[in-house]
Amino acid sequence: MKKLLSALLIGATTISQTGAFTGVSSWAEPAVTQAMTMGIVPDSLQNTQAGKAISRAEFCEVAVELYKNISGKTAPSNIISPFTDTDNQTIAAASALGIVNGKGDGTFAPYDTITRQEFCVMLCNVIRAINGQNDTIETNTIDVFPDGDLVADWAKTDVETIVNSEIMTGILEDGETLLKPLETTSREQAMVMAVRFADCYAGVQNDSEQEQPEQETPEINQTEQEIEQDKDNQPVYIIKPEEAASLTRDERLNILFGKTEIGFENQQEAENAMIEITVPVWRLQSDGSKKAGQMTLEVNECLSLVYQAIFEDIFNGSEQFPIKDGGSYAWRTNERSEHRWGTAIDLNWNENMECYIDEIGNVTEITSGSHWLPNEDPYSIPEDGDVVKAFEKYGFAWGGNAWQNKRDYMHFSYFGT
């Protein structure tokens, strides 16, 4: 990994202007210039003070630009905002990608500032949006900082990852280098770390791209499947919703992968099999009412009609279950993750935690999200509610009851993993 910039130091000489910013510190000038060249400085930061704290809304714009710059993908668009206090499409896109979350009351607080530990989590969320949830690094790097113990437990792994990658290098103060995890992040600090981050993860999207093997035609009865043509005029077998639950595992594998083994050969093959769909959802408002909206998902094309039917069932259900977060395809490092294949969906991830349990059902470790409180938190998925019933109707397993030692209440999967 190349070191583009020197350590982040406070108190350096400032210069009058660099591109979009005013009052840029001398130590940040190369990074700000590089950020502008890379196109990751959003228009919203034009003529703003470089030393002022970056807001949540401003960082969303930077994060989405990083996502596009590193992945080569476009960001989700035409999304109904899940938040009651902003209609900003970039914030909605960042939320849809899982880069940022709301405040738990339906708001986003776009003008609030971001602490340095929150910044680390959000940067790691960018990579999760591109390449899965298992790229964090667990070390003891932050223990070398005198104030490393101030890092919150929920942020520690991501702070370790960002520090270990030398994206965040500390702040020199009174002869010692401090992490200062609870302090705000300035705009110029954000640009320094954004450029380092882009440099560190450049090309991550292409690491697994290989020459694509010729696809085999799935061995299925075509009279039972709806056949469409993809962009390359290769046959795509679209599973009918009424048949989804009755297909055997081998039939599902043949339809989705052209073989009786789960998975694609590489990331490019997986992405060629995906399609974007827009589904109806209910959005919870600040006054407790619900408003009809839409959500865009990238899913396996073979299951596109099935996903449409599932979300229509949820939308038409008596609960009017509200959905603020949703994601399906993501090329994750975990080879058993069905998100790699677009055959799994996560919903409302903060309120539907992933956790491990002991033999009597007590939670021993929360690995994602913060809680699961059905019938208390409106975003938590009830085990006997419309959401679980809709997915099970079409042959999906729910992570809330699929395994013995683990619960993943946000997770629904076509192969039960």
Per the structure, the complete domain to which residue 26 belongs is given by 17-206
Q: Are residues 158 and 283 in the same domain?
A: no
Cβ neighbours of residue 110 closer than 8 Å, sequence gap 6 or more: 55, 56, 57, 60, 85, 86, 88, 91
Q: Are residues 195 and 338 in the same domain?
A: no
Residue 5 in domain: no
Q: Are residues 286 and 137 in the same domain?
A: no
- Degrees, nearest 5: CA angle 247-252-255: 120
Residue 4 in domain: no
* Contact of 165 with 138, CB cutoff 8 Å: no
Between helix 386-393 and helix 304-316 the angle, nearest 10°, is 150
Domain boundary among 206, 241, 263: 206
Q: Are residues 151 and 259 in the same domain?
A: no
- Degrees, nearest 5: CA angle 380-87-51: 100
Residue 211 in domain: no
CA distances to 1, 224, 259 from 249, rounded to whole Å, are 43, 16, 11
CA distances to 67, 188, 224, 271, 385 from 125, rounded to whole Å, are 10, 20, 40, 20, 30
Residue 273 in domain: yes
Between helix 29-38 and helix 187-201 the angle, nearest 10°, is 60
Q: Are residues 156 and 233 in the same domain?
A: no
Burial of residue 377 (number of CB atoms within 10 Å: 0-12, 13-18, 19+): middle
Query: DSSP per residue over 99-156, as a string?
Result: S----SSS---TTSB-BHHHHHHHHHHHHHHHH-S------SGGGGSTTGGGS-HHHH
Q: Are residues 198 and 229 in the same domain?
A: no
Domain boundary among 206, 233, 259: 206
Query: DSSP per residue over 326-351, as a string?
Result: EE-----S-TT-GGGTT-EEEESTTT
Domain boundary among 140, 172, 206: 206
Question: What pLDDT was estimated at residue 50?
Answer: 87
Sign of CA dihedral 98, 103, 104, 108: negative
| Beta strands 21-22 and 48-49, pairing class | parallel
Residue 217 in domain: no
Q: Are residues 239 and 325 in the same domain?
A: yes
* Contact of 303 with 236, CB cutoff 8 Å: no
Q: Are residues 80 and 147 in the same domain?
A: yes
Question: What pLDDT was estimated at residue 406?
Answer: 92
Residue 2 in domain: no
Question: What pLDDT was estimated at residue 34?
Answer: 87
Q: Are residues 237 and 179 in the same domain?
A: no
Instruction: Give bridge partners of residue 235 from the DSSP assignment.
Output: 229
* Contact of 75 with 68, CB cutoff 8 Å: yes
pLDDT tens-place values along the chain, 417 residues long: 333 333 333 333 343 445 578 888 888 888 888 888 888 888 778 788 988 999 999 999 999 989 888 887 888 877 777 888 888 888 888 888 888 888 777 788 889 999 999 998 999 888 888 876 545 555 567 888 888 889 888 888 888 888 888 888 888 888 888 889 899 999 989 999 989 998 888 765 544 433 444 444 344 443 334 434 443 445 578 999 999 999 999 999 999 998 888 888 889 999 999 999 999 999 999 888 999 999 999 999 999 999 999 999 999 999 999 999 999 999 877 778 899 999 999 999 999 999 999 888 899 999 889 999 999 999 999 999 999 999 999 999 999 998 888 999 999 999 998
Q: Are residues 324 and 384 in the same domain?
A: yes
Residue 232 in domain: yes
Considering its fold, how many domains does the chain have in total?
Answer: 2
CA distances to 31, 191, 196, 246 from 19, rounded to whole Å, are 11, 12, 19, 60
Question: What pLDDT was estimated at residue 306?
Answer: 95
Q: Are residues 246 and 326 in the same domain?
A: yes
Question: What pLDDT was estimated at residue 128?
Answer: 86
- Backbone torsion region of residue 39, taken as left when φ is above 0, otherwise alpha when ψ lies between -120 and 50, otherwise beta: left
Question: What pLDDT was estimated at residue 18?
Answer: 52
- Backbone torsion region of residue 56, taken as left when φ is above 0, otherwise alpha when ψ lies between -120 and 50, otherwise beta: alpha
Q: Are residues 244 and 171 in the same domain?
A: no
